[in-house]
Structure 1
Amino acid sequence: MSSEEIRLAQRWYDQEALAPSQIAQRLGRDKLHHVKQVPRKKQGRRHLTEPQVDQLLRRPHQMIVSADAKYHVTVQMLRKAAKTGVSERIILEACHRRGGYFRKLREKPLLAAEDIRARFAFAKQYKDKSASWWNSHVHAFLDGQHFKTYLTSAARKMAAQHRTFGAYRVPGRGLSGGYVKPKRGLAASTRSKSSLVMGAIGKGRLLLWHAGQAAADLYVGPLKANDPTGFQSNKGKMAKCESGISTFAIPTRSPDLNPMDFCTWSEINRRFRRQEAKWSAAKRETRPKYLARLRRTARKLPESLITSAIGDMEHRCQRLFEAKGHFFEESGA
């Protein structure tokens, strides 16, 4: 090979990441002959050229539209689809330079000024408590949840779409197919009904699980069925006092401070969707069987998951204190 051919081969290899066979075709030479003469760069951190970034970023849109909000499109999936040897970090850096990010879609309650003050006061009181303290001193974290009973394949498909939090997107794109998930509240479109479930975790296990009327009775207690205030009413507090139950009050509109909210319910939903993903489209499920499967799934939650979720209150209170009562970045359980 001439010096000019070696120079061209080197440039195509380094800048365009051409394969040896492609370089050989351009030069009109035998593959094995020219590869031995092309100087190799020392191994180190690989980078993407701008043409490579252009080619890489054409893929996410196709992948997201194909996913149709039924599952996450992640940077790991993008790397695999692109068959590139660069790291996920390099891909993310390239995406960031073009204004694209892999982000979760978030749904948060609206906090009033008094809510923020109450959350900040809660954080001041408990920010120094350890994970072991939370697991040993709070007997049970109790919460109620309305579960939709998705009995058909069409309803289960829409339920799976709700579990998709977000996707890679660039400015100006995000309202077309694949980027938008169905809004909550599917009763009209799927005929799915809700079932109230009352559950509690503590000491590393599921302590309580009631569904349907039993859950409603537990929630209302001695109250009339049309009393919307439930446990937080004066009658509800009096009933707990008479039963010897002391209340550990979590600030209102704070699902990020109740392990049942930020871990247990979502984990049950994830396990449900994984189970249903293996079913045939023709499979139907009765409401009693759905509720029975819900109970079995909840009782099979591992002790390590529950202990970790309750222990994460240590870090959550610290982050809440740093945020001065506002919402904080959640991580951990």
Structure 2
Amino acid sequence: MNSQNKFSTLSLLYFVWQNKRVITLSTLFGLVVGYGYIHYSTPIYETSVVVTAATEGDIAPLNLGRSWARLSPLKPFTAKDVYLTFSTILLSDAAKEAFFKQFYLSHPLTKEEFNTPETIALYRQFLRNFMIVEGKKSFSDRFAKFTIALRGENPQELVTKLQNFLTVLNQQTFENLSEIINKQKAVLISTLEHQLTAEQATAQQKIRDQIQSLEHQLRDLQAYEDDPFTPQQDGPAWIEVKIDNLRAQLKHGANTPKIRELQGQVRYYQNLTIDAQKTIVFHIDGAIKTPVVPVLPQPRLTLMVGATSGFLLGILLILFQLAWRKERSLIKPLFEQPA
């Protein structure tokens, strides 16, 4: 390549220095554009909250009718069980969608309203402004913490909306746990009812056997009704009273300690309810504060980007000018190398 067609570095720097006004003006232009962006753009605020796992004491209402005892039909929930349910719902799309439909806009949305193109676009914008970050567990932490952040233009509305999301999160977590409890209760009640039916059938059969035995005994005694040596309490009249009592018991249902125990268990689990107001499925670490300083735009970063962009624009203008002048051979002597 011909050396005469190359731009030496020193010559290029000299040419840039000659056009330093262009770089200065373009840098100032970038600063003005950055300042205008800061001044005229809508400030974006961000509020956040940290949520942590519930403790064993918090979930005690969920464990009514449950025990670690060997004969207990239902084992208790642990803090890990509740945490896994809570974290799964927190990271799911269902909780975000339910919050958006119920609270994010000015009015709750129906299924038809949510499926419109305009609403779907708003939902995607909401997802860009909504963040959930799982924190790293320290050595002393059993479970990870989550930071939930929401961005928007109105600081007061952000606090209310984030509180509403926590309400949705609490509601869906409790409903999910309640569904698990109800399914377990249904299976347990069905098992107890089968045991009760079998126990009642066994007890009734025992009563029938007793009645049959007494009837045989009655017939035998009636043959010796005039025997003066037959005890009064073992006479036909006494046996008939026993038979009548057993038949009445058979008519109204057998009643044994085991049957009463099973009936009590069935009634207990049928009437067992969990109080949502007394159940805590996660903790809020600190209060939700109203943001004061906007996170966007960032003045320093914006001005720095504007100045840098203006400076680079000035360099490009100079290079274009240099290429244009070289094309017309107006600055060729400037770049000629001495022999």
Q: Which TM-score applies when normalising by structure 1?
A: 0.19
Higher helix residue share: 2
Q: Please say which structure displays the higher CA radius of gyration.
A: 2
